[in-house]
Amino acid sequence: MSPPPPPKACAGRARVVEVWAHNEEAELARISDLFRELEFPVAVMATSYDVPSRPVMPRAPRTPNLHAGADGVYRITDRVPFRYALDYSCDCLHARVRAARFFQMSLALLDRDGRPALGRIWRFHLGVPRAEDERFLAELGVEEASVRRADRSRLAGALTECCAIYNSRVTWVTSDGAEDTLHLLDCFQNPLLVRRTTDRRQLIRSSRTFFPELYDLRFLAEWRTLSGEEPPLLAAAKSGTPDALLRGFLALTREPAFAERMVGYNGMLFGLGHCDTSDIQRFYTSYEEQETRVKEQRAAVNQNSSLSTSNAFGF
């Protein structure tokens, strides 16, 4: 009699599986099977840099020309096209992400109770060195690395084939919204086209198209709901523990009114700026405002308690 198969959902601390070129195909096959079965519908992603990206700032569209008139007054002769600060912020985001040739992407698949699939967290080491860089290193006598990095196009192909994207039954979660999402989106696009695409609205459309159910934990911790309620993960953010936000979000998903409460949150990415407009800026709560509210609520509770005690004793 053969032994029973190991459980797919493992409680406790998950182990990190490093994914390089030599084991990428095998690990992607495991991940694809898990996505197809939909036993672990929550995909948590995070990116980091093992080699920091070089600082790159996008150039301004045009520089105004000053011309001295006959009256000695300098005037601007070249009109500068108006650009929203949010657009420039998104340009900076694109520049920062695409300046990184190598990065790590961690991926964990969870069930609704927060148990990781196979007790694993996959960390993909992504990035392909340019041919001119390899020639330069060879001329310097630097030996070729024995371990090659994983190919981002294979990652994108596997996620597409197993219906991990374009699928509203898969919930994608990030804690650094715009940057994480842009790294993953770039895996699905032509590298030559990616370098020329910096449009903020296109990024918003792509994120909503590829990930119909996309939530940013940081956004949920700092922004009120459209009905004016406190941020859903405000209490979890105040606890200070590293996994409090994720556990708080999983608790939200188990609530019957989850979909109703999340109206207006789906697809909102922290750092992208597409929601920092004046008409909804009032929904943002700063930490100072949060602390003030907590102090006011405590003072009100203490005052009510004192009044109740006084009335009970007939004072």
Q: Is 7 a domain residue?
A: no
Residue 203 CB-density burial (10 A; 0-12 exposed, 13-18 middle, 19+ buried): buried
Edge to edge, the sheet with strand 103-110 lists 15-19, 120-126, 103-110, 42-48, 171-174, 213-216
Q: Is 69 a domain residue?
A: no
CATH number at residue 149: 3.30.420.10
Number of domains in the chain: 1
* Residue type at position 166: Y
Q: Is 4 a domain residue?
A: no
Nearest to 156 by CA among 115, 206, 204, 198: 206
Domain boundaries, position 296: 15-61+81-305
Beta bridge mates, 173: 44, 215
Please provide the average confidence, as pLDDT, over all residues in the chain: 76
In tens, the pLDDT along 147-158 reads: 888 999 999 999
- Asked whether residue 255 carries a pLDDT value surpassing 80, the answer given is yes
> In whole angstroms, what is the distance from residue 84 CA to residue 175 CA?
25
Q: Is 277 a domain residue?
A: yes
pTM: 0.74
> In whole angstroms, what is the distance from residue 13 CA to residue 174 CA?
19
Residue 107's pLDDT band (cuts 50, 70, 90): very high
In tens, the pLDDT along 10-33 reads: 666 789 999 999 999 999 999 999
Q: Is 6 a domain residue?
A: no
- Residue 282 is classified by DSSP as G
* pLDDT given for residue 176 in this prediction: 79
Number of H helices, E strands in the chain: 12, 8
Q: Is 76 a domain residue?
A: no
Q: Is 168 a domain residue?
A: yes
